[in-house]
Chains A and B, each alone.
Chain A
Amino acid sequence: MSAGTAGSALLRQVLGRWLIPLIGGMAFLFLLVPIAYVFAFSFNDAGRTNLTWRGFTLDNWRNPCGAPAVCESLANSLQIGATATVLATILGTAIAIGLVRYRFRFNATANMLIFLPLATPEVVLGASLLAQFLNVGAELGMGTIIIAHTMFCISFVVVTVKARVASLDPQLEQAAADLYATPFQAFWRVTFPLLLPGIVAAALLAFAISFDDFIITNFNSGSADTFPKFVYVAATRGIPAQANVIGSAMFIIALLIVIGGQILAARRAKLLAAL
């Protein structure tokens, strides 16, 4: 074996080991650079337009509602996100359990009905709902946004929870029934706790998608503002630094909640293992 092939073999080995972490790491960097930028500019002593760095200040963090309408739009987004998440999670979880555990004559149609909203671009979902609301003369506002968000979150919930239901051993429910649990008790004591991680993941995803949605909201919001809509409208004349504060804070809160939950779960697992 010549030195050259030995060298190329070594190179390949190093590449094989480090290629994936390298690309993966850069991908995470790519994902997080704009967030770092948003975070940095939340400390900008910007005044009206937050385009160039003018000096460090904590004022924006001290007074996040300082810019007009920014906190109102955030409150709307949180309210819409929470309501749509609860509705979509309940409806979607029921559908997921139903579709996995029961056979229907129109099974294929049912699956199609769940798949179609995912296969339809937001602009079409938004436009068709708007066409519908216009045709029936509904007044656009918070109510129509919540309906729209619930609609497109249901499919995401169904898909996420369905995988969890499918991996659940149906014998467990039978064992519960065998041990004197009524169908309701069997669901509440056995099925539901085992599905819970999937349901929580689905709810988190639904909330994230609802909170971040702009296109469908824009079509069906009328004069109601959400946080993304506020930012989009503000973008033309300069986004206030308070929006950066809220964006950064939401990111950090989401991170802390989920990682906190993870650490708690890991600690509990360790405690159990020690027993």
Chain B
Amino acid sequence: MALLAGERKSPVIHQRGADEISSAKRRSRIGYLLILPGFIFLLLFFVLPVFSLLATSLYTKPPGADIGQFAPALQFSNYTDVLSGYWPEFLRSFGFALVATVAALLIGYPMAYLVAVRLRGHALLQGILLVLIIAPFFTSFILRTQAWKQILADEGPVVAVLRAVSLLPPDGRLTATAFAVVCGLTYNFLPFMTLPIYANLERLDTRLIEAGNDLYASPATTFRTVTLPLSMPGVIAGTLLTFIPAAGDYINSALLGNNQDTTMIGQVIDSLFFRVVDYPGASALSFVLMLAILFLVILYVRRFGTKEIL
């Protein structure tokens, strides 16, 4: 578990392993007191709800029942129904999330590197830039996404310029396109990419870069063989924290997309819950989304990650 920080176990603890374990056992009652309240909370409001979700996903609608009335059952056809109906939205969500994650990595890594390595020693500037990464949260991301919508609107300045220099055909547009949705996702989850990489690069020993250069590696080779592998825990944490919420997001597709080819799975779940009032169908979709993401995450961590992450 090293998402935000890419933490490394301190060697002190390992050396004193035997001592630590014995004293830990002695005081383990305090340990349980520390973790139990939080875990009970998570059990009640995370684990139990997931089982509720699973149960609801198998409910059936009895004949003649009111809207929103369902009866406990084991109706597995809910799953096949929603999957056959909404698999394109599923694929699209993962596709959009993947492109946005890669884009956020390409933008976020240099950003983190600039603050963590290039500006090392300028504590105040580093602090200000770090705050600038988090502070947008306080403006509300819906307000900012809405701002993008207006900046990129058909009658807005960006489209006008792009049309003028023929980068966009005269009737071309930016909003209501898949491109706009992916840009929105990249924009909104960029801080979640940048912060973990920053936390990791902050502790990078720059003498290692010097050693790489000293041993005849060009800056590019040094980056590829030294810096990047060392910052992998941060990169993995960042990509996960970007991909996971991006795959489930529906604000960007709702505000920046159109109604035909940009609908994401989150939008479907939202509308099944609140417009169609098909709780079992919405729950089934949610559950499948959770399992699919978990499956991808485990594959990804197995392939690239160390055990520390999980």
Interface residues of A (CB under 8 A from B): 16, 19-21, 23-25, 27-28, 30-35, 37-38, 41, 51, 91-92, 94-95, 97-99, 101-104, 110-125, 127-132, 134-135, 147-148, 150-151, 154, 156, 158-160, 162-163, 166-167, 169-171, 183, 204-205, 208-209, 211-212, 214-215, 218-219, 227-228, 231-232, 235, 239, 243-244, 247-248, 250-251, 253-255, 258-259, 262-263, 266
B255-310 interface (Cβ within 8 A of A):
255, 265-266, 269-270, 273, 279, 282-283, 286-287, 289-290, 293-294, 297, 310
Once the chains are docked, how many angstroms separate the CA of A146 from the CA of B3? 24
Return the contact of B244 from the options A35, A121, A244 (Cβ within 8 A): A121
Interface contact B111-A28, CB-CB below 8 Å: yes
Please give, as numbers and ranges, the residues of chain A lying within 8 Å of B39 by CB-CB distance. Answer: 95, 110, 113
Q: Can you offer 7 A-B residue contacts whose CB atoms are under 8 A?
A: A113-B39, A120-B294, A124-B248, A131-B279, A132-B49, A205-B134, A212-B140
A262–B127 CA distance with the chains assembled, in angstroms: 7
Task: Name the interface residues of B6-60: CB closer than 8 Å to any CB of A.
Answer: 6-10, 12-13, 16, 20-21, 24-25, 27-28, 30-32, 34-35, 37-39, 41-43, 45-50, 52-53, 55-56
B294 touching A21 by the CB < 8 A rule? Answer: no
Beta-carbon contacts of B150-171 to A below 8 Å, as 1s and 0s?
1100000000000000000000
B-side residues, CB < 8 A to A, are 1-10, 12-13, 16, 20-21, 24-25, 27-28, 30-32, 34-35, 37-39, 41-43, 45-50, 52-53, 55-56, 107-108, 110-111, 113-115, 118, 123-124, 127-129, 131-148, 150-151, 187, 190-191, 194, 199, 219, 240-241, 244-245, 247-251, 255, 265-266, 269-270, 273, 279, 282-283, 286-287, 289-290, 293-294, 297, 310
- Is the CB–CB distance between B129 and A28 below 8 Å? yes
- Residues of chain B contacted by A25 (CB below 8 angstroms): 114
Residues in B with CB closer than 8 Å to A218 are 270
CB distance from B263 to the nearest CB of A (A): 13
CB distance from B121 to the nearest CB of A (A): 12
Residues of A within 8 A of B1 (CB): 111, 114-115, 158-159, 162
- Whether A123 contacts B289 by the Cβ 8 Å rule is yes
Chain B residues with Cβ under 8 A from A34's Cβ? 136, 139, 144-145, 147-148, 151, 187
A214 touching B286 by the CB < 8 A rule? no
Tell me if A148 and B12 are in contact (CB < 8 A).
no
- Chain B's closest residue to A258 (CB) is B131
Contact of B5 among A28, A117, A162, A243 (CB under 8 A): A162
Q: Which 5 A-B pairs have the closest CB atoms?
A: A121-B248, A102-B31, A163-B5, A24-B114, A98-B34
Provide the residues of chain A in CB contact with B41, threshold 8 Å: 91, 150-151, 154
- Residue among B39, B138, B248 with the most chain A CB within 10 A? B138
A170 to B110, Cβ gap below 8 A? no
A11 CB, min distance to chain B CBs, angstroms? 13
B31 near A129 (CB under 8 angstroms)? no
Interface of B is mostly: helix
| Contact partners of A163 in chain B: CB under 8 A | 2, 4-7, 199
Given A102-B27, A129-B49, A131-B283, 12 more contacts at CB 8 Å?
A31-B190, A34-B136, A41-B147, A113-B43, A121-B244, A121-B245, A128-B49, A134-B56, A169-B10, A209-B137, A215-B266, A259-B128
Q: Is the CB of A219 within 8 A of B273?
A: yes
Instruction: Choose among A51, A92, A160, A243 the residue that contacts B143 (Cβ–Cβ < 8 A).
Output: A243
The answer to whether A38 and B147 touch across the interface, beta carbons within 8 angstroms, is yes
Bound CA span A215–B246, Å: 12
Docked CA distance A219–B135 (Å): 25
For the complex formed, measure the closest distance between the CB of B218 and the CB atoms of chain A, giving whole angstroms: 9
Among B13, B251, B279, contact of A214 (Cβ-Cβ < 8 Å): B251
Question: Inside 8 A of A212's CB, which chain B residues have their CB?
Answer: 137-138, 140-141
A209 CB contacts on chain B under 8 angstroms: 137
Given A214-B141, A239-B146, residue A32 in contact with residue B132 (CB < 8 A): yes
List A contacts of B134 (CB < 8 A).
204-205, 208, 254
Q: Which residues of A contact B16 (CB under 8 A)?
A: 170
- A78 → B minimal CB distance (Å): 11
Decide: A231 and B113 in contact? CB cutoff 8 A: no
- How far does the Cβ of A212 sit from chain B's closest Cβ, in whole Å? 4
Are A33 and B151 touching (Cβ within 8 A)?
A: yes
How far in angstroms is the closest Cβ of chain B from A222? 12
Contact yes or no, B10 A253, CB < 8 A:
no
Verify A151–B146 contact, CB threshold 8 A.
no
- The answer to whether B132 touches A21 (Cβ under 8 A) is no
Question: Cβ of B49 and Cβ of A99 under 8 Å apart?
Answer: no
Q: Given A91-B38, A110-B39, A113-B42, does the pair A228, B141 have CB atoms closer than 8 Å?
A: yes
How far does the Cβ of B40 sit from chain A's closest Cβ, in whole Å? 9
Beyond A31-B136, A116-B46, A120-B293, whether A170 also contacts B129 by CB under 8 A is: no
A244 and B139 CA atoms in complex are apart in Å by 8
Whether the Cβ atoms of A119 and B28 lie closer than 8 Å is no
